[in-house]
Amino acid sequence: MPQISDPVARDRGGSIVVVLAFAGIVVAVMQTLVVPLIPELPELLHASASDASWVITATLLAGAVATPVMGRLGDMYGKRRILLFSLGLLIIGSLICAFTTSLLPMVIGRAFQGGAMGVIPLGISIMRDELPKERMGSAMALMSSSLGIGGALGMPGAAAIAQHFDWHSLFLCSAGLGAAAAALIFFLVPESTVRTPARFDFPGAVGLSAGLVCLLLAVSKGGDWGWGSGTTLGLLAAAVLILLGWGTFELRTTAPLVDLRTTARPQVLLTNLASVLVGFALFAMSIVLPQLLQLPKATGYGLGQSMVAAGLCLAPAGLVMIVISPLSARISAARGPKTSLMLGVTVVAAGYAMGLFLMDTVWEVILVSAVIGTGIALAYAAMPALIMGAVPLSETAAANGLNTLMRSIGTSVSSAVVGVVLAHMTQPFGGMPLPTLNGFRVAFAIACGAGLAALLIAAFIPARHTRPQVAASGPAAVNAPADQPA
C-alpha cells in the first residue's frame, strides 16, 4: 500500500472516501424519502392509513434483514461486488415505486430500497481494507455518520420535490442518485482483496431474518394492532424463541453468519448496545421536531412552518454532522474512540435537555437539532473504530453490518415509543387530535434518558483491546497493526 505522502495514493484514497460517503448518504436518504408523503399516502395509494404504513415498515424490515446478510456476503465474495448489488436493489426498487400508484408494488419497491442498507457497513470495510492508516479514522467517521447526514439532508430535498412536482419524481431522483453512485463505485473503487473463504450460512440467514422480522414487525405495528393484542404478543414471543434457537445454531456451526463469540467480546457487545440507544435518540429528533415545526401557531406552541421550511430547519443538523465527523476522528486518534463515543452521547443528552426548554421559536429548534446532530456525529463516527478494533480483518463487513443493524433496531423502537407518547398525549384542535407540548417534552425526556443510558454503557467499554491475529493478504495485511486503541 502506498504511503499517504504519495500523491497518487492520496488522490486515489480521497476519491474512494468521497464516492463511498456519497453512496452512504444516497442510501440513508431512503429513510426519510417518503416522510413528506406520509399524510397523503392513503389517498395516493388508495389504501387505509394502516395499510399505507407498510410503505415505511417494508423498508425497515428489508434493511434489518439485508444489513448483516450483505455484510457477510461481502466478506466472502467481495465487498465492492456486493455493494454494487445492493445499489442495484435500490435502483430497481426506486423504479418500481416511480411507476405505480398501487399499494402492493409500492411496498415491494420500498422493500428493495431497504435491501440497500448494507452499503454503509460495506463501505466502512472497504475503507479499512484500502486506505492508508493515516486516513482511516476520518474516512470511516464520515462514512458511519452518513446514516444521519443523509436522513437530515434528504428531508428538505424530498419535501421540496413533493411540494412542487409529482410525487413519483422522488423515486426517479433516487434511482438517478443510485445509478450515479453505482457508476462512481464501478470506476473509482477497487475490489478488496481480503476475503473469508467459507460456505454461506443459509440456515443462519433464514433464522436471523425470521427473528428480526417478528421483532420489528411487532415493534413497528404494535401501535396499530394494540400492544396487548394476540398478534403483537405472539410476534414478540416468536422473535424471542427464534432468536434463541438461531443463537444456539450459530454457536455450533463452523462458518456462522454472525460470529457470536466475537460479538460477545465486551468491546463489541457494549458498543452495539450503545448503538441501539444512539439510534433511538437520532430518530426521536426526526419524529418530534418536524411535527412541532409544522403545527399551526394557533395551538399556542406550533411554529406554523411549511413542509419545505420544516425540512430546511433540520438541514443544518446534517451539515453539522459533515463538519464534526473529522473532529471525532481526531478525538479518537488522540484519546481513543471510547472517549469520542462518550463525548457524543453526552452532547446528545445535553441537546435533548436543551430541547425541553427551547421549543418556542424556529431558531431555538434549529439550535437544538444542531446540538443533537453534533452528538450523533461524534458517536456514530466512533462506533466502527471500536468494532474493528476487536474483530478479525476477515469479519469487518459482517461486524459493521451487525452494528448498523443495532442502530436500525434503535430507530424502530424510537418510532414505536415516541409514536405511543404522542398518540396518547393529545388535545383536540379543529376537530382532530394533535400532540400536546407536554407530549413533545416527554418524548425529548425519554430521548435524553436514552443518551444518558448510552453514556453509562460506553463507560464500561474496555479502554484497550488487542486485535486477533488473522492471516490476511493484500493491502489490509500491510495496514493492520495488531494493537488498536479503543
Q: What is the mean pLDDT of residues 366-395?
A: 81
> Residue 394: its pLDDT value, please?
63
| 307 phi-psi bin (left φ>0, alpha ψ -120 to 50, beta other) | alpha
CB atoms within 10 A of CB 3: 10
The reported pLDDT for the residue numbered 377 is 82
- pLDDT tens readout for residues 236-246: 899 899 989 98
pLDDT at 217: 82
Q: Which residue has the cell 392513503?
A: 42
pTM of the model: 0.76
Q: Which three cell numbers stand for residue 379?
A: 458517536
Look at 152 and 351; give whichever has higher pLDDT: 351
- pLDDT attached to residue 76: 79
Are 50 and 190 in contact by the 8 Å Cβ rule? The answer is: no
Q: What are phi and psi of 461, to 5 degrees?
A: -65, 130
Task: Kindly give the pairing relationship between strand 432-435 and strand 464-466.
Answer: unpaired
Full DSSP string of 234-255 = HHHHHHHHHHHHHHHHHHHSSS
Q: What is the mean pLDDT of residues 164-170?
A: 84
Domain definitions of the chain by residue range: 7-200+257-485, 201-256
* Grid coordinates given for 211: 427473528
Is the pLDDT reported for residue 10 higher than 60? Answer: no
Residue 13, pLDDT score: 66
CB 141 within 8 A of CB 149: no
Cα gap 420→115, rounded to integer Å: 27
Q: Mean pLDDT lowest for which of 300-309, 372-381, 477-486?
A: 477-486
The three-state secondary structure class of 465 is strand
pLDDT of 470 > 80? The answer is: no
Is residue 281 within 8 Å of 352, Cβ to Cβ? yes
Closest CA to 348 of 371, 331, 325, 365: 371
Distance, CA of 421 to CA of 439 (rounded, Å): 6
State the chain's mean pLDDT as an integer: 79
Residue 84 has a pLDDT of 93
- Which range, 132-136, 185-189, 332-336, 398-402, is most confident? 185-189
Q: Which three cell numbers stand for residue 244?
A: 434463541
DSSP classification of residue 36: G
Task: Identify the band that residue 464 occupies on the pLDDT scale cut at 50, 70 and 90.
Answer: low
Q: Please give the residue that has the higher pLDDT: either 211 or 284.
A: 211
List Cα–Cα distances, 55 to 105, 169, 232, in angstroms. Answer: 10, 17, 19
d(CA 269, CA 250): 16
Q: Residue 397: what pLDDT?
A: 66
**412/452 Cα distance (integer angstroms):** 19
The type of residue at 114 is G
Phi, psi for residue 465 in degrees, rounded to 5: -140, 140
User: pLDDT tens digits for 307-348?
Assistant: 777 777 877 877 787 778 777 778 877 788 888 889 989 999
Higher pLDDT residue, 348 or 262?
Answer: 348
According to the model, what pLDDT value does residue 475 have? 38
pLDDT score, position 309: 79
CATH superfamily, domain 7-200+257-485, is: MFS general substrate transporter like domains (1.20.1250.20)
pLDDT score at 85: 93
Q: Is the pLDDT of residue 7 over 60?
A: no
Taking a C-beta distance cutoff of 8 angstroms, is the pair 276, 410 a contact? yes
Instruction: Give me the percent of the chain exceeding a pLDDT of 70.
Output: 88
Average of per-residue pLDDT across 111-119: 87
**Residue 482 near residue 294, CB atoms below 8 Å:** no
Bigger pLDDT: 140 vs 125: 125
How far is residue 195's CA from residue 386's CA, in Å, rounded to a whole number? 21
Helix segments in 33-100, DSSP class H: 41-45, 49-52, 54-77, 79-98
User: What confidence score (pLDDT) does residue 35 get?
Assistant: 74
**What's residue 52's pLDDT?**
78
Is residue 478 within 8 Å of 377, Cβ to Cβ? no
Residue 358's region, left for phi above 0, alpha for psi from -120 to 50, else beta, is beta
**For residue range 24-50, what is the model confidence (pLDDT) as tens digits?**
888 888 777 787 777 778 888 888 777
Contact 120, 275 (CB under 8 A): no
- Of 53-57, 153-157, 268-272, least confident by mean pLDDT is 153-157
Q: Which of 98-107, 130-139, 273-282, 364-373 has the lowest mean pLDDT?
A: 130-139
Res 466 pLDDT > 70 = no
Most confident of 36-45, 81-90, 242-251: 81-90
Task: Using DSSP, state whether 435 is helix, strand or coil.
Answer: strand
